[in-house]
Amino acid sequence: MTPVAPALISPRRAVPDAIARPEYVDKPGPERFTGSEVKDADTIERIRIAARLAAQARELVGSHVQPGVTTDELDRVGHEFLCDHGAYPSTLGYKGFPKSLCTSVNEVICHGIPDARVIEDGDIVNIDITAFINGVHGDTNATFLAGDVDEETRLLVERTHEALMRGIAAVKPGRRLNVIGRVIESYAKRFGYGVVRDFTGHGIGTAFHSGLIVPHYDAPMYDDEIQVGMTFTIEPMLNLGTHEWVMWDDGWTVVTRDGRRSAQFEHTLLVTQSGAEILTHP
């Protein structure tokens, strides 16, 4: 299997002037979020709209994942869908990120930049896409199979999705956030998978990343109380080998240190009286 390598990145895609931009676009970074992690009813309804739109984009782009297609083409599909629905692609211009979604192929853990690389038979491709509309973000990702994927990789993808769903099921008001990572890591360890530690879930709403951290491993220090009305993401990254990673010179693309494959899934969630509602369903 040939390692993933950087390829040509096309010029930045335009967003219609009528679409509102997040405050951070083309700045060194976002303003620090100082609001509450517990959202009011109006904000929740707006997040619901953004999250559903992001989920629709995720599924549309995912349907185009097949051998012979470039990851840049996937970016075009997602970009046009969000713009056509009045949403801004949250990653575009975030801390300088040049594209409207992330495409992480095979051993790329996260933050892969769409480029001219052609998807090959047997690849797996994570599509991470976020919609900004009505002043809030909805964030989601999923790993899609291209062509005939080997059994070991297919099982990694299935089990990573299962790890996400187990993490979501652990969300209950009054519990601590670290219960999520404890459940995910416990499941992943059954199969000897590496659980990525340095990239986490996060609070979301008017801020793309609010400062609330949701680790996917057993991390006792992250003991914020889960409260009704919180909105955050869970997005485990599981690797066939080590959890350790290296970053490409582009400052974004994160790959497994041992070159083995990685899968990821993500939902934006709302904490309810009884658990967690998944907002990123199409």
> Model confidence over 222-253: pLDDT tens digits?
999 999 999 999 999 999 999 999 999 999 99
Q: Pick from 230, 215, 237, 235: which is nearest to 277 by CA? A: 230
- How far, CA to CA in Å, does 178 sit from each of 129, 167, 183, 238, 272? 25, 10, 9, 17, 18
| Inter-residue contact 224 to 176 (CB < 8 Å) | yes
Tell me which amino acid residue 270 is. L
Q: What are 26-68's pLDDT values in tens digits?
A: 999 999 999 999 999 999 999 999 999 999 999 999 999 999 9
Q: What are 106-120's pLDDT values in tens digits?
A: 999 999 999 999 999
Which residue in this structure is represented by tokens 């010029």? 11
> DSSP code of 94?
G
Q: Pick from 139, 113, 116: which is nearest to 253 by CA? A: 113
Q: Is the pTM of the predicted complex or chain greater than 0.95?
A: yes
pLDDT (0 to 100) of residue 1: 78
What average pLDDT does range 86-91 have in this prediction? 98
Q: Average model confidence (pLDDT) for the chain?
A: 98
CA terminus-to-terminus distance, the chain: 34
Q: What are 113-147's pLDDT values in tens digits?
A: 999 999 999 999 999 999 999 999 999 999 999 99
pLDDT (0 to 100) of residue 30: 97
**DSSP run (H or E) holding 179:** helix 178-189
**DSSP run (H or E) holding 231:** strand 231-234
| Inter-residue contact 202 to 210 (CB < 8 Å) | yes
**DSSP run (H or E) holding 142:** strand 136-145
SS3 percent helix, strand, coil of the chain, rounded to 5, is 25, 25, 50
Rg (CA), the chain: 18
Distance CA 264, CA 236 (A): 6
What ranges in the chain are assigned the alpha helix state H? Answer: 41-63, 71-84, 151-169, 178-189
**Residue percentage of the chain with pLDDT more than 90:** 99
Q: Give CA torsion, residues 28, 200, 214, 123, to 10 deg.
A: 130
Question: String of b and e for 32-53 (b: at least 16 CB within 10 Å)?
Answer: ebeeebebeeebbebbbbbbbb
**DSSP run (H or E) holding 104:** strand 102-105
Distance CA 41, CA 39 (A): 7
